[in-house]
Amino acid sequence: MSDYVIRVENIGKKYVIAHQKQERYPALRDVITERFKSLGNLFKNSNSQKKEEFWALKEVSFDIKQGERVGFIGRNGAGKSTLLKILSRITDPSTGRITIKGRVASLLEVGTGFHTDLTGRENIYLNGAILGMSNLEIKRKFDEIVAFADVEKFLDTPVKRYSSGMYVRLAFAVAAHLEPEILIVDEVLAVGDIQFQKKCIGKMEEVGKEGRTVLFVSHNLGILQSLCNRGILLSQGKILKDNTASIAAASYLKSLEKVSSQKILERTDRSGNGRSRLIDIEFYADEDSYSTTLVTGSSAVFIFYVTKIFTGLTCFFTVYNQQGQPVTIFDSFAQSSQDKMNLDQAKFICRISELLLIPGRYMVNAGLWSNGEEIDSVEGALFFEVEEGTVRNRIILEHFASFGDVSIPHQWITPNSQL
């Protein structure tokens, strides 16, 4: 049909992973010997390597109509970024076929599409030319791009000197304003500050209303559901669900809940450099009784066990509601010691004197950070229930969940109380 701008037919993407055989540290004579051996094995596979095939995508098919805003959902390693790279023509599929109608602008990771030695001004014109736009068209949009990115002072500075936030601001502004028929945006927006993220979401909504197509990947299910009218859930390189964004998000949360029964240390769907890892998470209503029944308005304790503690390491966890929208975040940054320390195993303890969550079921994403660097991060690390309780003598019932997630202590002054 003519209204389809993207048609994906049974695509797959295969990578060949070489595992180097572990050997002792080589001496000079070993290096010389191996060099001579390699001449005789020029057309043979080395015995020191074991090769493994990995399919990042397999048998993926879907069509996208003009003007659709599609969110791609899935755990780390599900194949989302690989799919967007194929749709952006950064890499080719191993099997299958893709048909795309119209110009594609993509923002997949910091560094994509810009020449680091060129200035911001030069990169705007370069990207416009790549999209097939004339100099006149680019000039017409130039001031709007610069204003949106807020980089006017650094416009004639090579982008290699930009901070990651400045880089993303300019890259998104270029991608969104040079009027592509299809805009592809990955999780890279998380690099920017909150105000800029809001600007980006607003711009993508505007692009969608103009009848252009938006493909979006984000772990923030609240933003994804508000922006997208369709959701595609990927798991292990295959499509599990293709429906509305809310239905796809609900299916994703269910899949995370199944995975949460697995030991955290054994989970492979995590991100970070791995310098330290989350081992386990426990939660109790009280440290003394070790009851796992959490009640609105009562105390709660969350304990995070980690493999290694070092100076500057902080622990955080975000609480999400049943729709996958963030409710609140806790982090140990203010209490983290900057004294030199190096422990093989330890724990972070978060004590909450008054749990102000409305009764319902909640999900926890947890992780470790150090000096702005992601050390470890696990989605759906924990699920817990909150039962009905009392906040400052006010009974909080489960039906309150229809109106929000948090109970804020307050006081009323009514006409009767004023008499």
Burial 15-25, CB ≥16 within 10 A → b, else e: eeeeeeeeeee
Q: Are 374 and 271 in contact (CB under 8 A)?
A: yes
User: H or E element: which one contains 217?
Assistant: strand 213-217
**26-35, 50-59, 148-157: the lowest-pLDDT one:** 26-35
User: Is the same domain home to 240 and 277?
Assistant: no
Let me know if residue 14 belongs to a domain. Answer: no
Residue at 149 is within a domain = yes
Tell me which of 91-95, 236-240, 337-341 is least confident.
337-341
Domain boundary among 206, 223, 257: 257
Domain encompassing residue 315: 264-403
The answer to whether 286 and 348 are in contact (CB under 8 A) is no
Q: Establish if 340 belongs to a structural domain.
A: yes
Model confidence pLDDT, tens digit, residues 219-261: 888 888 888 999 999 999 999 999 999 999 999 999 888 888 8
Name the token pair of 100.
């795309």
Average pLDDT, the chain: 85
Does residue 222 fall inside a structural domain?
yes
Arithmetic mean of pLDDT, 59-71: 94
CATH of the domain at 387: 2.70.50.60
The 10s digit of each residue's pLDDT in 397-410 is 888 888 889 998 88
Q: Is residue 379 within 8 Å of residue 388, measured between CB atoms?
A: no
Alpha carbons 117 and 109: distance in angstroms, whole number: 18
Does residue 89 sit in the same domain as residue 176?
yes
